[in-house]
Structure 1
Amino acid sequence: MARKVKMPSEESVLGFLRRSRRGPLKAKEIAKGLSVAPRNFRDFRALLRGMLDAGRLYRVKGQRYAVPEKVNLVAGRVTVTQKGDGFVAPDQGAQDIFVPGLSLESAMDGDQVVVRVEGRPRGRSPVGRVIKVLDRAHETVVGTFRASRGFGVVHPRNRRLSREILVAKGDEADATEGDVVVARITTFGSGKMGPMGRVETVLGKFSDPGVDVLSVIHDHGLPGAFPDSVVEAARDAVVRRRKEGGEHRTDRRDLHVFTIDPADAKDHDDGLSVRPVGSDSWEVGIHIADVSHFVRPGDAVDLEAFKRGTSVYLVDRVIPMLPHELSTDACSLLPDADRFALSVFALLDTQGRVRDARFERTEIRSRHKLSYEMAQAVLDGEQDIDPETNEALRTLAKLAETLREKRKERGSLDFDIPEAKVLLGEAGKPVSIRQVERLKTHRLVEAFMLLANEIIAHQAGQRRLPILYRVHEPPSTDKMRDLRQFLGGLGYRVPKGKIPQNDLQGILKQVEGRPEEKLVSTVILRSMSRARYSVKNLGHYGLASDWYTHFTSPIRRYPDLWLHRVLTHTLIEGRSVPEDWAGPGLKEKAERCSVRERVAEAAERESVALKKVEYMERHLGDEFDGTVSGVTSFGIFVLLDEVFVEGLVHVNSMADDYYIFHQDKYLLVGERSHRTFRLGDRLRIRVARIDKEELFIDFVILA
């Protein structure tokens, strides 16, 4: 049997090079310093090559290796602005690096790059130049095909992809003028020479039914149908494991469990139960679908689920993480059906304190599939389900409110940003757009999902299990300064330095019901760091939580599925953690799941925005009443009363005066007339221009 070679870790290599007083070193010098045996040198060279490809090392003259920061290099992901310049977010979390458009070379939005820092202007971001692209975010581009003499051009739909794709004659497939196409990039070009590609798929004209959402799917690289092998593997797992719950499973079918979800939901991840314990305590059961029972490590379904990372909820369809055989059937907690679950039982007192908590692998049977509206009607006394369910809902609502107040006391931030619900008719045409009402029952479910996530994170963290934490770091110093200036301009005073969550929470409370509520909530939210997955527990700033993870949605989120797998293996079955479940592979899982989440969110937003614009196309020239919801240097945004749609009144259309933007007070003031536009002003407007491809809705003011 071959003896396993123990190779230095990547962290050991980086640490050795950082400590080196001789600067960059050759491979043999590094190997000698780390006591790598000569017989293992070939494997060690392969390790160094892998670190080079990942941007963790850089090779300089003389075949010598250095850590990037020692030679003024930074690896990170680039975001390109609509003006064509870029900002690179370093992997190590330092300040973003500004890259002028001409210094991006062939890098495109979302690429993983290495940047050489060439300047550090005082009070501004460091300035750099891309010297290497490590990973391409875009192998294909969705855009509009324009024919020209001798060649074609694809204009990308994504406005962050500012460079056109040249298509040589013969590579245009069946594309004609104005078609929306998917083009595969064959050459990425350089700073001076643009990228070239070939047309792979012709989606049709943008006005054709369904082409708009198809373009979103292709533009964001969302997956299509599941491969036949994955569907077959899912079916096989259901047949073999549906009747056999495995060891260490407790029968809890006697519990009165029910689910609360959107009325049109088909995948039911979670259910709730509650029962009194003594005179002043309740045991709340938070029951989550046991997806890990059906999806095993490394099988075809698991690999596909990891590749997808998350389900994507577009305006007209769901692109699921798991095949329907699992997501809407075997795993879904459907009513009057026996289902396997992982359950957290929390013993709560009247003050919302967790007196005890335990974790079980269970079999349950849901009694009811409730919608949020149906459950709310019970709480409002307008509907009866049955006495036991009615009482359980009332008890859970009281406990949820207590938990919510406890979260507020510690500084948890509650952003109540209104969302739009688009109702579609035949051929995917939007027939109505309304604001989603946030009900008490939404907060009820949220309270217990947050509780379960915190309990599990704490237990897993204490045992140092290899899980993916859901982390949210405090805002950067620059964003804190900008936020303080913005809030001060509106008359809200906050202390210097780090802004405590309680202060932000107080401001959110003050603006409730005021004209500036949406703006303040949005600006505070945008000043926050982006929540992400991490192998390290860094806490959750927005929730003011020391321990947080994602446990409650394994049907639609891969981190939850991974967590279930770890918990079952260790806490239920009592086995030790496999060696390959930790280390660099876990960090890669965290990074990929964070990226897939961001892609899904962007695609979901864009699909809704497309349908909003399409809906307003039929109202071109119509008049509406609305409220000023935003004020900028280039115009004012108006939210309509009749339909939940926002549009822009551009300053160029305000021809009666020259309007000056007062940033400190968010006012637009006429230079001669002193006519003033501020948040909350009532206006009557006319829909003046619609551009579905560019997602523009322009208004002009009538009164």
Structure 2
Amino acid sequence: MNKPDPKLASFTREGLLEAVKQGEGQFGKRELARALGLKGSDHKRHLKEQLALLEEEGVIAKDSKRNYVLAGALPAVTVVMITDRDSDGELLAEPVRADRAAPIIRLAPGEGAGGPGQTALGIGDKALVRLAEQDDGSYEARLLKKLGQSAHRVLCVMRKPEKGYARLMPVDRRTRHELVPAKGENDKAQDGDLVLVRIAKERRYGLKTAEIVEVLGDVDSPGAGSVIALHAHGVPQGFSEAELTETRKIKPAKMGQREDLRALPLITIDPDDAKDHDDAVYAAPDEDDSNKGGWVVIVAIADVAAYIEPGGQLDRGAFKRGNSIYLPDRVVPMLPERLSNDLCSLRELEERPCMAVRMVFDQYGQKRSHRFIRGWMKSAAKLSYTDAQNAIEGGGPDKAVQLLDSVLRPLWGAYEALSKARADREPLEIDAPERRVRVAEDGQVIGVEVRERFDAHKLIEEFMIQANVCAAESLEMKRTPLIYRVHEQPSREKIEGLSDFLQTVSMKWSKGEKATPKRFNKLLAQAKGTEHYETVNEVVLRSQSQAIYDTENLGHFGLNLDRYAHFTSPIRRYADLTVHRALIRALDLGPDGQTDEERSRLDTIAEEITHSERRAMAAERDAVDRFIALYLAERIGGEFEGRITGVTRFGAFVRLLETGADGLVPISQLGAERWHHDERAHALVGEESGNRYRLGMNVTVRIEEATPVTGGLLLDILTRPEKGPRPTRRAGMRRPGHAPRRGGPKRGRRR
């Protein structure tokens, strides 16, 4: 860490910015206070206020470790991974942990070449570098230290043409260059095999050679889309022998000193195909005369902490995976099946240990009190969302109907009260339909459908939210460190982008207007019923920050809550297990709570499980893309209705209304006229005519190419552009390059 400069003792705005700059991405609040010579709570409170103001103005930003950097800048010293070479043969790199779109980082000429007896830097290597920002916004890097070969591997398809040499074709759409099998590697795989390779030899020019690490099967086999997505994102799969040995030694928990909840008709309500059951719910009118019309709600959660010893093999493996991953044709669980589907699962009519919270609400859904319980329960029934909803509406299976008066109606009564409090709280209400890819047993896609969302879903969601709030409140009251679920308000930069877009659809967000969930909801209500509703929803969604895990409580903007922690899904999220252990220790609920060692590592755990969650989300998204591309590969040449969901300098992205799939219309497909990307108007604009393809525009497209191995769709737009005035060059309008075509049939006449 840099030594603080004595000249910063005077606390001015300029001095604070200079301190942030000197910190080079390594200064948090504590280090900045030290650099500025600040002592006393009043000075530190003023520092916190000034930092918040600068962050709101978009002048500074926080990185993943909560350290401050100048907005848009990378730390002067950072760890990068070598990812490619440019046309001149110079090495290109990306930050190992990038919180935003990475700028171009180019190693200075000759850097990384290696001296006598030293190996040169190659693709996949990590290095500690010092960065210098260039005039064009890119960075030049000078090597400080080579950190060695990363775990980076490249997933490829082996191609062996009848004539010519074998090639390894990367499946990642962002990887532009094919590879050549190294000497002796050609016979390890057959044509069409999925293979995991590592770079064998770096050459300054020409194709790189690669060694085959593992053959994963035929690229055309069922489930290849999931295999590719998991390997492409480095998702840990399977369980070590040490984990399985530890699992086999586990004995079922016993009731012991737990509170007996077996008499309560707790039930699980889950998706139709759920195999593990984290949570069970119960509600009844409050019998306290002082709370007329009020409700008692109990949320019981699987007691995973009873089985997973801190620091043991299962604990280490769960931390490494971070969470379960749900793909169209499979689940990659965080815990072995004996735990996730059996001992920890709240199975129907079977006794199970649980962590429960008993909450009391008034008739308006405001919480009066809560209490955590280490319990012993027996689920009265396993219902699906559809079963529960149908029973409430007058139908459903006999099991659900039999529980209607005693269990379901009280649950809905409590939910009705909680809905009033939710309406008063007014969380962010973005309409983002979730699509489900239906896959047959043979791995073939048989359909893509929008998931129905019933009141039953909303009921469970609201009960879980309240339980999560209680967990955070109880741990704060006991002054126990915990991992929060944090969702910060949108950055100033994103709000300005939203404001610019709204002007193009005759809507308004005033400059300087504060971003609140209520203001967003007002905007969405204003757009409802107009042709721009779906686009406004999407742009509002994109303007939001990504939720993270953090030991510092920064609130949850989307839910409009001051404090929030994940407590309700310990079978599939490691974050929840840490919160369970913290509650057990803080509330003296047993000897298996949070250890001192775990407490000391909470910052690291929060950072790592945030990374694991984003890795899982990327793998899930990529798998869905590949399965849908497989589904659409049989419909090449078909015409579909869609909507432009993004415009870039190289083309337009169109979302197909039938499947929700996103495809690219390369700018070279738009016709002979040159097209400019007008960032402010969110449109591609014809240089001569002024005609435009804009964000949110409804279009008809034809599928030219669908590639299941990459999940890519190439489209041809058939709808003519909208008329517009001949453009004048202005800031924000950039001349794009022409994206290369990737094969496929010739484009036909537009409508």
Question: TM-score range, shorter-chain basis?
Answer: 0.7 to 0.9
- 5 Å-filtered alignment, 1:209-608, equals 209-237=222-250, 240-242=251-253, 244-247=254-257, 249-278=258-287, 279-383=292-396, 385-386=400-401, 388-390=403-405, 392-400=407-415, 402-404=417-419, 406-407=421-422, 409-497=424-512, 498-573=514-589, 578-583=595-600, 585-608=601-624
> Is the contact between residue 76 and residue 132 of structure 2 (CA under 8 Å) also seen in structure 1?
no
Q: Deviations over 1:369-400 (max 9, x none)?
A: 11112222223333362354456434434543
**Structure 2 counterpart SS, 1:98:** coil
Residue type of the alignment partner of 1:251: D
Residues 1:340 and 1:446: Cα distance change in structure 2 (over 3 Å): same
Query: Does 1:140 pair with 2:174?
Result: no
> Is the contact between residue 635 and residue 649 of structure 1 (CA under 8 Å) also seen in structure 2?
yes
- 2:196 aligned to 172, 177, 182, which one? 182
Q: Over aligned residues, Cα RMSD in angstroms?
A: 3.9
Residues 1:327 and 1:77: Cα distance change in structure 2 (over 3 Å): farther
> Which segments of 5 or more consecutive residues in structure 1 lack a partner in the other structure?
1-13, 25-54, 57-70
Say which is worse superposed, 376-385 or 552-561, in terms of deviation.
376-385
Q: Deviations over 1:478-516 (max 9, x none)?
A: 223222222333333223335233212222333345433
- 5 Å-filtered alignment, 1:641-656, equals 642-655=658-671
Q: Deviations over 1:425-469 (max 9, x none)?
A: 242010111122222222111111111111111211232323211
Q: Deviations over 1:298-321 (max 9, x none)?
A: 222222211211111111111111
> Which segments of 5 or more consecutive residues in structure 2 lack a partner in the other structure?
8-21, 24-63, 66-73, 113-120, 719-749
- 1:100 aligned to 102, 105, 123, which one? 105
Residues 1:580 and 1:229: Cα distance change in structure 2 (over 3 Å): closer
Post-superposition shift, 1:629? 4.2
Identity of aligned residues (%): 33
Post-superposition shift, 1:415? 2.8
> Is the contact between residue 433 and residue 645 of structure 1 (CA under 8 Å) also seen in structure 2?
no
| CA–CA distance in structure 2, aligned partners of residues 539 and 191 of structure 1 | 49
The residue that corresponds to 1:68 in the other structure is none
Post-superposition shift, 1:602? 0.8
| CA–CA distance in structure 2, aligned partners of residues 467 and 160 of structure 1 | 38
Post-superposition shift, 1:324? 0.7
Q: Deviations over 1:203-231 (max 9, x none)?
A: 34422333332222222222333234322
The residue that corresponds to 2:130 in the other structure is 116
| CA–CA distance in structure 2, aligned partners of residues 20 and 90 of structure 1 | 32
Aligned residues: 633
User: If the length of structure 2 is used for normalisation, what is the TM-score?
Assistant: 0.75
Residue type of the alignment partner of 2:596: E
**Structure 2 counterpart SS, 1:600:** helix
> Is the contact between residue 374 and residue 589 of structure 2 (CA under 8 Å) also seen in structure 1?
no
- 1:73 aligned to 66, 69, 76, which one? 76
Residue type of the alignment partner of 1:183: V
| CA–CA distance in structure 1, aligned partners of residues 522 and 589 of structure 2 | 46
| CA–CA distance in structure 1, aligned partners of residues 473 and 606 of structure 2 | 18
> Is the contact between residue 478 and residue 586 of structure 2 (CA under 8 Å) also seen in structure 1?
no
Say which is worse superposed, 551-560 or 529-538, in terms of deviation.
529-538
**Structure 2 counterpart SS, 1:582:** helix
User: If the length of structure 1 is used for normalisation, what is the TM-score?
Assistant: 0.79
| CA–CA distance in structure 1, aligned partners of residues 246 and 594 of structure 2 | 26
| CA–CA distance in structure 2, aligned partners of residues 670 and 522 of structure 1 | 25
Residues 1:170 and 1:528: Cα distance change in structure 2 (over 3 Å): same
**Structure 2 counterpart SS, 1:393:** helix
The residue that corresponds to 1:62 in the other structure is none
The residue that corresponds to 1:29 in the other structure is none
| CA–CA distance in structure 2, aligned partners of residues 161 and 685 of structure 1 | 26
| CA–CA distance in structure 2, aligned partners of residues 448 and 395 of structure 1 | 13
**Structure 1 counterpart SS, 2:520:** helix
| CA–CA distance in structure 2, aligned partners of residues 99 and 680 of structure 1 | 29
Residue type of the alignment partner of 2:312: D
Residues 1:145 and 1:468: Cα distance change in structure 2 (over 3 Å): same
| CA–CA distance in structure 1, aligned partners of residues 484 and 579 of structure 2 | 9
| CA–CA distance in structure 2, aligned partners of residues 594 and 190 of structure 1 | 36
Residues 1:494 and 1:644: Cα distance change in structure 2 (over 3 Å): closer
Residue type of the alignment partner of 2:313: A
| CA–CA distance in structure 2, aligned partners of residues 581 and 335 of structure 1 | 33
**Structure 2 counterpart SS, 1:224:** coil
Post-superposition shift, 1:363? 1.0
The residue that corresponds to 1:200 in the other structure is 213
| CA–CA distance in structure 1, aligned partners of residues 413 and 92 of structure 2 | 51
| CA–CA distance in structure 2, aligned partners of residues 681 and 371 of structure 1 | 38
| CA–CA distance in structure 2, aligned partners of residues 442 and 72 of structure 1 | 43
The residue that corresponds to 1:10 in the other structure is none
Q: Deviations over 1:227-250 (max 9, x none)?
A: 34322322321xx233x1343x10
Q: Deviations over 1:93-131 (max 9, x none)?
A: 8x987343456965878x876442313769x68775564
Residues 1:322 and 1:577: Cα distance change in structure 2 (over 3 Å): closer
The residue that corresponds to 1:50 in the other structure is none
Residues 1:534 and 1:143: Cα distance change in structure 2 (over 3 Å): same
